[in-house]
Chains A and B, each alone.
Chain A
Amino acid sequence: MSLLSVQNLSVNYDSIRAVKGISFEVQQGETVCLIGANGAGKTTTLKTLSGLLPASAGEMTFDGHKLNGMPAYQIATLNLALVPEGRGIFTRMTVLENLLMGAYNRTDRAAVHREIDEIYALLPRLQERHQQQAGLLSGGEQQMLALARAMLSKPKLLMLDEPSMGLAPIMVQTIYGIIQTIAKQGITILLVEQNVRLALGISQRGYVMEHGEITLSGESRALADDPAVQAAYLGEL
Chain B
Amino acid sequence: MNVLEILRGKAWLTAGLLLVGLILLPFLVEASLGKSWLRIIDFALLYIMLALGLNIVVGYAGLLDLGYVAFYAVGAYCWALLASPHFGLNLPFWVILPVGAAVAALFGVLLGTPTLRLRGDYLAIVTLGFGEIIRIFINNLNAPVNITNGPQGITSIEPISIGGFSLGKTQEVLGLTLSSPHLYYYLFLLCVALVVFVCMRLENSRIGRAWVAIREDEMAAAAAGINTRNIKLLAFAMGATFGGLSGGLFASFQGFVSPESFNLMESIMILSMIVLGGMGNIVGVIVGAILVTVIPEALRYTGDLQQAVFGKVFVDPADLRMLLFGMALVLMMLLRPSGLLPSKQRRQELAEDAA
Contacts and interface: CB of A to CB of B under 8 A. Distances in A.
Contacts of A73: 222, 225-228
Interface in B205-239: 206, 209-210, 212-213, 215-217, 219-228
B349 interface: yes
B14 interface: no
B291 to A, nearest CB: 25
A76 interface: yes
A143 to B, nearest CB: 13
B345 A88 contact: no
Contacts of A72: 222-223, 228
Interface in A178-205: none
A52 interface: yes
Interface string A77-105: 10001101000111111100100111011
Contact of A90 (B212, B222, B228, B349): B212
Interface stretch (A54-62, A130-138, A165-173): A130-138
Interface string B182-221: 0000000000000000000000001001101101110111
A21 interface: no
Task: Specify which of B212, B225, B226, B349 lies most central, judged by the most chain A CB atoms within 10 Å of its CB.
Answer: B225
Contact of B213 (A51, A76, A82, A93): A93
A94 B352 CA distance: 13
A203 B137 CA distance: 63
A132 B344 CA distance: 10
A5 B219 CA distance: 23
A52 B223 contact: yes
B348 A133 contact: yes
Interface residues of A, number: 30
Contacts of B217: 88-90
Given A104-B206, A132-B348, A133-B345, A88 B212 contact: no
A69 interface: no
A82 B349 CA distance: 27
Contacts of B213: 90, 93, 101
Interface residues of B, number: 23
A90 B220 contact: yes
Nearest to B214: A90
Interface in A118-173: 132-133, 135-136, 149, 153
A100 B209 contact: yes
Contacts of B219: 52, 84, 88
Contact of B227 (A71, A100, A133, A135): A71
B210 A104 contact: yes
Contacts of A76: 222-225
A50 interface: yes
Contacts of B206: 104
Nearest to B204: A97
Given A90-B216, A92-B216, A101 B209 contact: yes
Nearest to A77: B225
Contacts of A89: 217, 220
A71 B217 CA distance: 17
A92 B224 contact: no
A88 B225 CA distance: 13
Contacts of B212: 90, 92-93, 97
The 5 closest A-B pairs by CB, nearest first: A88-B220, A76-B225, A72-B222, A90-B216, A105-B225
Given A90-B217, A93-B213, 18 more contacts: A50-B222, A51-B222, A71-B222, A73-B227, A90-B216, A90-B221, A92-B212, A93-B345, A97-B209, A97-B212, A100-B209, A101-B221, A102-B224, A104-B224, A104-B225, A132-B352, A135-B349, A149-B224
22 contacts: A72-B222, A72-B223, A72-B228, A73-B222, A73-B227, A76-B223, A76-B224, A76-B225, A89-B217, A89-B220, A90-B212, A90-B213, A90-B216, A92-B215, A93-B212, A101-B210, A101-B221, A104-B209, A132-B352, A133-B352, A149-B224, A153-B225
